[in-house]
């Protein structure tokens, strides 16, 4: 990994993996690379689809009493679940979070992987996790949550990048400033620009991760594929997995 903090995964949550995962793969031209057996300990199953070097993950609960299940019950399934960022030192980010009053929800310490998850209520809008994989100095290198050789499943014939995460808040400037302090990256107005993705805060009634923006080769074809899979298209976006998929060229 490089020294810069970058977006590593976006996690969506659904009552069941299908048809959400199948629709994402078919519409966006992505490949399901891995299903992580480690999430079973949390009562979840998942699927990960690479979008360039960002992993798009969908999780679904298979038993009662999971955090993801409570999220679905609370939100009605609206909103993204987690933004996962890679950084040089998750423990340093943990200390920073605690210093500004953001509680730690969970620590995953399974060498060579270290992940620090922050409490969603304190983060506002969504979970934030910081992680690092030891001895991985290549963004396409080893990353245990995505399984071995995950980068071999990257496709770019339809979708070339996940360029933006959109957060909604009644106070978008305040939310941007808050995430800026947590992440350790400057906010310019209501935007935080990372090396591989932008986080943009917009005005809305509640604080959620409301959308993802994708760059694709043929927007009209992607939107047509969404309609064919039964998703209502409004302008250049459609709803899937609890968020709006915004399509750009």
pLDDT (tens digit per residue) in 92-105: 999 999 999 999 99
End-to-end CA distance of the chain: 28
For 92, 96, 104, 156, the CA distances from 99, given in Å and listed in that order, are 11, 5, 11, 41
Minimal CA–CA distance to 11: which of 21, 19, 3, 1? 21
Question: What are 177-195's pLDDT values in tens digits?
Answer: 999 999 999 999 999 999 9
The distance from CA 74 to its chain's CA centroid, rounded to whole angstroms, is 19
Q: Compute the residue count for the chain.
A: 249
Residue 3's pLDDT is 55
Measured at the alpha carbon of residue 103, what is the angle toward residues 99 and 105, in degrees to the nearest 5? 140
Q: Which domains does the chain have, with CATH numbers?
A: 6-153 (3.10.180.10), 159-247 (3.10.180.10)
Task: Compute the mean pLDDT over every residue in the chain, rounded to the nearest whole number.
Answer: 95
Give the predicted TM-score (pTM) of the model: 0.95
Q: Two tokens at 120?
A: 């969603």
pLDDT band at 225; cut points 50, 70, 90 = very high
Please tell me the distance from the alpha carbon of residue 226 to that of residue 245, in angstroms, as a whole number. 10
Instruction: Say if residue 2's pLDDT is above 90.
Output: no
Q: Are strands 82-86 and 127-133 parallel, antiparallel or unpaired?
A: parallel
Minimal CA–CA distance to 150: which of 71, 54, 218? 54
Task: Report CA Rg, the chain.
Answer: 17
Question: What are 111-152's pLDDT values in tens digits?
Answer: 999 999 999 999 999 999 999 999 877 889 999 999 989 999
Please tell me the distance from the alpha carbon of residue 207 to that of residue 22, in angstroms, as a whole number. 28
CB atoms within 10 A of CB 18: 11
């Amino acid at each position: 990994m490089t020294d810069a903090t970058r977006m590593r995964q976006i996690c969506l949550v659904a009552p069941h993996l299908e048809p959400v995962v199948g629709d994402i793969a078919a519409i966006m031209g992505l490949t399901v690379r891995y299903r992580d057996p480690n999430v079973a300990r949390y009562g979840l199953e998942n699927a990960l689809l690479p979008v360039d070097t960002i992993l798009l993950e969908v999780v679904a609960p298979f038993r009662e009493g999971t955090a993801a299940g409570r999220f679905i019950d609370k939100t009605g399934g609206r909103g993204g679940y987690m933004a996962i960022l890679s950084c040089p030192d998750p423990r340093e980010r943990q200390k920073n979070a605690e210093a500004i009053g953001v509680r730690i929800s969970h620590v995953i310490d399974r060498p060579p992987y270290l992940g620090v998850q922050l409490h969603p209520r304190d983060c506002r809008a969504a979970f934030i996790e910081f992680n690092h994989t030891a001895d991985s100095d290549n963004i396409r290198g080893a990353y245990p949550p995505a399984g071995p050789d995950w980068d071999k499943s990257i496709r770019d014939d339809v979708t070339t990048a996940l360029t933006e995460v959109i957060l909604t808040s009644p106070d978008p400037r305040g939310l941007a400033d808050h995430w800026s302090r947590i992440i350790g990256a400057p906010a310019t107005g209501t935007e935080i620009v990372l090396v591989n993705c932008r986080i943009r805060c917009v005005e809305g009634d509640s604080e959620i991760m409301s959308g993802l923006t994708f760059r694709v080769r043929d927007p009209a074809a992607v939107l047509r594929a969404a309609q064919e899979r039964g998703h209502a298209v409004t302008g250049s976006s459609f709803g899937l997995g609890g968020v709006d998929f915004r399509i750009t060229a």
